[in-house]
């Protein structure tokens, strides 16, 4: 029983660590997709956020660094918005370009700032996001594994509540959902379609940047070229699985987080090849997409550039 409880605690702990980056990014993707703009540049926005957060944390308060990471992601969200909304570029191509550009910028700046190294300096404990309930429970106990998590692990679930409230209890949320379905009808009613979409895509980048910072300022302690690899695409899969709703995306991200938790516990025994174990989250992602992508109703105007009537 002790072994079972210990492993369960480790899985929950790993889930609490793995879920926030995915969930912040998935919430951002939900904003963009529901407004009618496809954003597959989530991966790149997470990467630049991860880099900006890790660098800023070397010089300023961790929470300010966390905010800077979000702003870095928002900047690339703005680039995507300009290309897709104002210039009517293909949204998939623009997102792909962001996924190449953002990591390239991060690596270029890392080499320029840190004597040719692609890694940022390791952060001290005081430079990372704080842990809540640290030292409240004995080290290694079930309570410590479950509750002693980084503040971002709790903050992201507050963000889910806020996003849900915005989407379903405010006039702004109604307009976001309407613009993603019938932008022309919204335009005739006086709704600023371009303004709503700009807001959503920029918020998408901001939340993705926060997700990236969760990796380098909590899960790890520095930025590396492989810090984010794949997580942005898993977040997009979570949004599809969650039927483009914040609550659905949350459940999907928790599922993927549990897969990471199982991977962590399974790799501890060295019974199975670590390469096979590392495949677990990605295999589950593929299975989920195969089973559920056809059942998710995509917003009617998603991916369709809108040109304002003159």
25-61 pLDDT, tens digit each: 999 999 999 999 999 999 999 999 999 999 999 999 9
Average pLDDT across the chain, whole number:
89
Each residue's pLDDT tens digit, 143-181: 777 777 899 999 999 999 999 999 999 999 999 999 999
**Residue 169 forms part of a structural domain:** yes
Degrees, nearest 5: CA angle 118-16-271: 80
Distances 271 to 267, 275, 280, 282 between C-alpha atoms, Å: 7, 12, 15, 20
pLDDT of residue 273: 67
**Residue 283 forms part of a structural domain:** yes
Is 192 exposed, middle or buried (CB count within 10 Å of its CB: 0-12, 13-18, 19+)? Answer: middle
What's the CA gap between 293 and 302, in Å, rounded? 15
Compute the radius of gyration of the chain from its Cα atoms.
20
Predicted TM-score of the model (pTM): 0.93
Beta bridge partner(s), residue 150: 131
What's the CA gap between 44 and 207, in Å, rounded? 12
Highest mean pLDDT among 14-18, 24-28, 219-223, 296-300: 24-28
**Residue 305 forms part of a structural domain:** no
Distances 19 to 27, 120, 258, 278, 282 between C-alpha atoms, Å: 12, 23, 8, 16, 14
- Please check whether residue 267 is in contact with residue 274, taking contact to mean a CB–CB distance below 8 angstroms: yes
**Residue 242 forms part of a structural domain:** yes
pLDDT of residue 218: 93
Confidence of residue 229 (pLDDT cuts 50, 70, 90): confident
The domain that contains 104 carries what CATH number?
1.10.3470
Average pLDDT over residues 108-113: 95
**Where on the phi/psi map is residue 130: left (φ > 0), alpha (ψ -120 to 50), or beta?**
beta
**Residue 304 forms part of a structural domain:** no
Residue 112 has pLDDT above 70, yes or no: yes
**Residue 165 forms part of a structural domain:** yes
- Largest Cα–Cα distance in the chain? 70
pLDDT of residue 307: 83
The DSSP secondary-structure symbol of 293 reads: G
**Residue 306 forms part of a structural domain:** no
- Please check whether residue 133 is in contact with residue 153, taking contact to mean a CB–CB distance below 8 angstroms: no
What's the CA gap between 239 and 42, in Å, rounded? 12
**Residue 198 forms part of a structural domain:** yes
For residue 271, the enclosing domain spans 2-295
Dihedral sign from CA coordinates of 56, 60, 62, 67: negative
Beta bridge partner(s), residue 132: 149
Confidence of residue 268 (pLDDT cuts 50, 70, 90): low
Into how many domains does the chain fold? 1
């Amino acid at each position: 029983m002790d072994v079972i409880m210990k492993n369960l605690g480790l899985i929950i702990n790993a889930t609490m660590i793995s879920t926030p980056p995915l969930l912040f990014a998935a919430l951002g993707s939900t904003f963009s997709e529901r407004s009618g703009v496809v954003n597959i540049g989530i991966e790149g926005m997470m990467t630049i956020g991860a880099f900006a957060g890790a660098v800023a944390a070397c010089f300023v308060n961790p929470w300010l660094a966390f905010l800077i990471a979000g702003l870095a992601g928002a900047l690339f969200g703005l680039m995507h918005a300009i290309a897709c909304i104002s210039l009517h570029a293909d949204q998939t191509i623009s997102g792909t370009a962001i996924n190449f550009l953002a990591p390239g910028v991060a690596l270029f700046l890392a080499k320029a700032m840190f004597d040719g190294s692609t890694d940022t300096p390791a952060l001290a404990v005081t430079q990372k996001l704080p842990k809540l309930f640290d030292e409240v429970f004995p080290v290694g106990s079930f309570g410590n594994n479950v509750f002693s998590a980084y503040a971002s692990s709790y903050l992201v679930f507050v963000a889910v509540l806020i996003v849900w409230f915005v989407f379903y209890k405010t006039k702004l949320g109604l307009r976001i959902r309407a613009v993603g379905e019938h932008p022309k009808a919204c335009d005739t009613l006086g709704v600023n379609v371009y303004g709503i979409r700009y807001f959503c895509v920029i918020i998408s980048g901001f939340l993705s940047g926060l997700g990236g910072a969760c990796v380098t300022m909590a899960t790890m302690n520095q930025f590396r070229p492989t810090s984010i690899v794949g997580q942005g695409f898993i977040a997009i899969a979570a949004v599809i699985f969650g039927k483009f709703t914040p609550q659905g995306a949350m459940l999907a991200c928790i599922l993927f987080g549990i897969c990471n938790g199982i991977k962590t516990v399974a790799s501890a025994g060295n019974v199975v090849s670590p390469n096979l174990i590392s495949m677990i989250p990605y295999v589950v992602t593929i299975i989920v997409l195969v089973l559920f992508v056809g059942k998710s109703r995509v917003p009617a105007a998603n991916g369709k550039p809108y040109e304002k009537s003159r």
